[in-house]
């Protein structure tokens, strides 16, 4: 399992690169604060991140 959070400027490209490079049994997770189907569609599992920075940090730790 590998999880790509919002923050990378080319999150979609990174997810696609991981998809191409990793074996199919490795599940790819992606998350973003906004509705970004062009990013999350490349993942096996997607999440919507909280908007606030403090809430987001807690959410990431508890979700991981």
24/62 Cα distance (integer angstroms): 26
| 3-class SS of residue 18 | helix
Q: Break the chain down into helix, strand, coil percent, rounded to 5.
A: 40, 20, 40
Structural Rg of the chain based on CA atoms: 12
Report pLDDT digits (tens) over 6-60.
987 799 999 999 999 999 999 999 999 999 999 999 999 999 999 998 999 999 9
At residue 21, the pLDDT reads 98
At residue 16, the pLDDT reads 96
Tell whether the model's pLDDT for residue 4 goes beyond 90: yes
Give the residue extent of every domain in the chain.
6-63
CB atoms within 10 A of CB 20: 7
30/15 Cα distance (integer angstroms): 8
């Amino acid at each position: 399992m590998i999880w790509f959070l919002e923050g990378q400027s080319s999150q979609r490209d990174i997810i696609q690169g991981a998809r191409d490079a990793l074996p199919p049994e490795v599940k790819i997770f992606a998350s973003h604060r906004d509705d970004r189907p062009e990013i999350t569609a490349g993942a096996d599992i997607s999440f919507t991140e909280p908007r606030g920075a403090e809430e987001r940090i807690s959410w990431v730790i508890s979700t991981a």
